[in-house]
Structure 1
Amino acid sequence: NLGGRIYGHGITASYGEMCYHDNSLVSASLEALIQHLVPTVDYYPDIRFREVAPKLVQLLTEWTETFPYDFRDERMMRCLKDMTHHVARGDEYSWRAMQQMTQRLIKRLSALGQYEEAVAALNAVALERPASLKSKQASGQRSDVMSVCDDPFILAQQLTHIELDRLSFIGPEEFIQSFAMKDPLENHKGFFRKRKTSNLEAYINWFNRLSYLVATEICMPVKKKHRARIIEFFIDVAQECFNIGNFNSLMAIITGMNMSPVARLRKTWSKVNTDKFEILEHQMDPSSNFSNYRTALRGATQRSETAHSSQEKIVIPFFSLLIKDIYFLNEGCASRLPNGHINFEKLWELAKQVSEFLVWRQVICPFDRDRRILQYLVTTPVFSEDELHLASYESEGPENNMEKDSRRSLR
């Protein structure tokens, strides 16, 4: 049952219930994929097992290295051990390869557990010392970001350390798990119900923390001149982040500086040269689906692919937009076609986007670590939204009735 059609320069062909385009599988029914593995007159998997075993080892190795978090589930680990026993039986080479694969997997999962404990501990430290307006009134005794680091390039480097550290622990499956289990045709939801997206969520929380830290640092100083100096400092940090290719920290800084309690400080902003800030805002302008940012991201990606130094390899995307892109790709294309076939074209496109992320997260940060700066960035207290508004009104009083009402409601 072979049919072929020509689309442009490509050839689309159907073999039973498996459809190909230019020799790439485009769609197929699940039943056809299973049937494709069933022995026939001239295909006996048992007889050819010695030829198949190395390929199974390769498949399992790629699975455990690309999606190690799948194996946090005890049932998955048991399946892997059973598979190891069957694949490696009587084959010393396969046995050794599977043992090494398992050791690497256990090491990766152990590192993941330690990372999650460390992030939880850092968050606990930040919560133990809540910020309050007393800190603003006694700001002479309080450390601010410029007393810890007054070099924008070094601060941008330390932000890049945090970004790459946290990126490296996000499992690629977390993108899909956060929204992919909505398919009513999916028959195995229960098996994956306990999967987590905690590292992805922790990374989003880091973006929010950095935005609030920027706003807190700006609203904290009593003197207008000091506030203006902090704003100019963060503009320079944002510029260095852009130069490095750290778009996530760049966007977090811009977001913090555009928060209402900061944006309303007109007297403070009048003392600031905003030319560089306006250029950076233009680069991250959301209009035309972030077209300016996407152009800059492509440039950073090309630089990374032809890098002559480890610094040139760095690409840290604006993460919330990356998630949004993957979400709309997943929601906008059906996983199953009207004829019931699995939509492989959608899967290839999802794999392409996630694979690009995998390349970015594997980069080792080349900059020297400064533990004092890193500790400050991840643990120093930040104002809540209400506290930011109160601090802002203390810096520059309400200018209209709406702001006066807002201030009264916060007290």
Structure 2
Amino acid sequence: MIMGIFCMCIFQMRIRKMAPKILQLLQEWTETFPYDFRDERMMRSLKELTQRMASGDELYRKVVHQMIQVLIRKLTTLSQYEEALVKVNATATDRLTVLKAKPQAIQRDMLSVCNDPFTVAQQLTHIELERMSYIGPEEFIQAFEKKDPLDNDKVFDHKKARNLEAYVEWFNRLSFMVATEICMPVKKKQRARVIEFFIDVARECFNIGNFNSLMAIISGMNMSPVSRLKKTWSKVKTAKFDILEHQMDPSSNFYNYRTAFRGATQRSRTANSTREKIVIPFFSLLIKDIYFLNEGCSNRMQNGHVNFEKFWEMAKQVSEFMVWKKVECPFEKDRKILQYLLTAPVFSEDTLCLASYDSEGPENNMEKDRWKSLRYVPSPGWCLYVCTRGSAPMRQNLSHYSRLV
């Protein structure tokens, strides 16, 4: 019994001696990687360890309590954000369903909601910074990790790069929304006006430092259903678009973009205003860089030592992203524009092709075959296409469309 008490005293003395360093480690862990503790077992282990450290020491007890409360607030905020994303996606789906069921409920277009490119670019920046802010640094690693088939430990099975994936999905949505806005109008003059509008939005995104929205807009304009509209493009003043395309040219591993982006990051470091601090990278390229760094370099060197250079470089890139995502958006929110950008129904790729061919007919055999296959095998987005482009006086051959619907 005496020996047991003695051992317990020795253990408590060691705990008190090590407690400051352990507590510092836990504080850094919960602050930098809070998503690790979404698993109940991780949170339970954290509480058990901190309770041992805090027993009999009022100072440690207060520090531990504060640390746990901050962590819980972060995890609660994350859950609320993810629930909000689900609601936004559900709203977009509901609007699409309503549009299919009620052809008279024609959706508004972007220009009717806001015709100021700078304001739209500001609202896009709001969305970008919000989505960035919820991406945890561990998600970059989890996105590429290869699970050992012999590893039965399911502690981290719940971990998914959910917020990272949601951000990539936003890029795709914006690209398809731009293409939809361009392909929707029946008149060539109106399509040209929409193209010029989004060119101006893209230019404002570039000036702000929002390279992700910039690239999404360019990608939407370069989609085949849009790029093939030669008669429409002939009405567009393309000088500004050519400059933007040059900046985002993928040749030489995006050399022009990387040069411009380095300039933006330098401006951010020396910024005197919040607006100048904004740096939003072309996210898919950042992911690609980290992926190839992870895949192209071994975790261990030939002598068996850990390849610290690889992990240092990965940590450097992720750490830079963590700085960029903390910037507060200085622009005033416009709920109406944000709602439209996030929930407006968009055409599928097949439906975009239908709208494109209907605006400017197929020019070669390949396009003709594609057009025929789409006309006689309606896609799920066909009804949306009929609703948005089929209202009088938009189309003359509605009888054919109605048979297909």
Q: TM-score band, normalised by the shorter chain?
A: 0.7 to 0.9
Q: What are structure 1's unaligned runs of at least 5 residues?
A: 1-43
CA deviations over 1:285-336 (Å, ceiling 9, x no partner)? 1111111111111111111111110001111101101111111111111113
The structure 2 residue matched to 1:402, chosen from 344, 361, 366, is 366
Correspondence for 1:274: 238
Aligned residues: 365
Indicate whether 1:70 and 2:21 are aligned: no
Mapping of 1:276-315 within 5 angstroms? 276-315=240-279
Correspondence for 1:108: 74
Correspondence for 1:167: 132
- In structure 2, how many angstroms separate the alpha carbons of the residues matched to 1:348 and 1:189? 27
Identity of paired residues, percent? 70
Mapping of 1:205-216 within 5 angstroms? 205-216=169-180
CA deviations over 1:247-301 (Å, ceiling 9, x no partner)? 0000000000000000000000001011111111111111111111111111111
CA deviations over 1:221-253 (Å, ceiling 9, x no partner)? 011111000000000000000011100000000
The structure 2 residue matched to 1:96, chosen from 62, 65, 89, is 62
Contact 2:208 2:276 in 1 (8 A): yes
- In structure 1, how many angstroms separate the alpha carbons of the residues matched to 2:364 and 2:356? 14
The structure 2 residue matched to 1:326, chosen from 263, 286, 290, is 290
Mapping of 1:4-15 within 5 angstroms? none
Secondary structure of the 2:155 match is helix
Q: What are structure 2's unaligned runs of at least 5 residues?
A: 1-9, 376-405
Secondary structure of the 2:96 match is coil
The residue type paired with residue 157 of structure 1 is Q
TM-score, normalization by structure 2: 0.85
The structure 2 residue matched to 1:221, chosen from 170, 179, 185, is 185
Contact 2:114 2:337 in 1 (8 A): yes
Greater helix share, structure number: 2
Indicate whether 1:366 and 2:326 are aligned: no
The structure 2 residue matched to 1:375, chosen from 339, 342, 348, is 339
Q: 1:58 to 1:47 in 2, by over 3 A?
A: same
Correspondence for 1:317: 281
- In structure 1, how many angstroms separate the alpha carbons of the residues matched to 2:11 and 2:188? 77
The structure 2 residue matched to 1:59, chosen from 12, 18, 25, is 25
Indicate whether 1:248 and 2:212 are aligned: yes
Secondary structure of the 1:167 match is helix
Indicate whether 1:152 and 2:117 are aligned: yes
- In structure 2, how many angstroms separate the alpha carbons of the residues matched to 1:228 and 1:143? 17
The residue type paired with residue 99 of structure 1 is H
- In structure 2, how many angstroms separate the alpha carbons of the residues matched to 1:53 and 1:353? 32
Q: 1:310 to 1:219 in 2, by over 3 A?
A: same
How big is the shift at 1:63?
0.7
Contact 1:132 1:383 in 2 (8 A): no
Q: 1:238 to 1:131 in 2, by over 3 A?
A: farther
- In structure 2, how many angstroms separate the alpha carbons of the residues matched to 1:190 and 1:403? 50
- In structure 1, how many angstroms separate the alpha carbons of the residues matched to 2:282 and 2:133? 15
CA deviations over 1:36-60 (Å, ceiling 9, x no partner)? xxxxxxxx99756545322222211
The CA RMSD measured in Å over matched residues stands at 2.3
How big is the shift at 1:182?
4.9
Secondary structure of the 1:341 match is coil
Correspondence for 1:126: 92
How big is the shift at 1:95?
1.6
The structure 1 residue matched to 2:47, chosen from 81, 93, 97, is 81
Correspondence for 1:32: none
How big is the shift at 1:168?
0.6
Correspondence for 1:6: none
The residue type paired with residue 280 of structure 2 is I
Contact 1:335 1:346 in 2 (8 A): yes
- In structure 2, how many angstroms separate the alpha carbons of the residues matched to 1:265 and 1:321? 28
Mapping of 1:23-38 within 5 angstroms? none
Contact 2:202 2:214 in 1 (8 A): yes
Q: 1:354 to 1:189 in 2, by over 3 A?
A: farther
Contact 1:215 1:256 in 2 (8 A): yes
- In structure 1, how many angstroms separate the alpha carbons of the residues matched to 2:207 and 2:11? 54
Contact 2:229 2:356 in 1 (8 A): yes
Greater strand share, structure number: 1
Q: Which moved more, 1:163-172 or 1:44-53?
A: 44-53
Indicate whether 1:193 and 2:154 are aligned: no
CA deviations over 1:192-238 (Å, ceiling 9, x no partner)? 23211111111100000000000000000011111000000000000
Q: Which moved more, 1:125-134 or 1:93-102?
A: 125-134
- In structure 1, how many angstroms separate the alpha carbons of the residues matched to 2:11 and 2:227? 68
- In structure 2, how many angstroms separate the alpha carbons of the residues matched to 1:371 and 1:254? 25
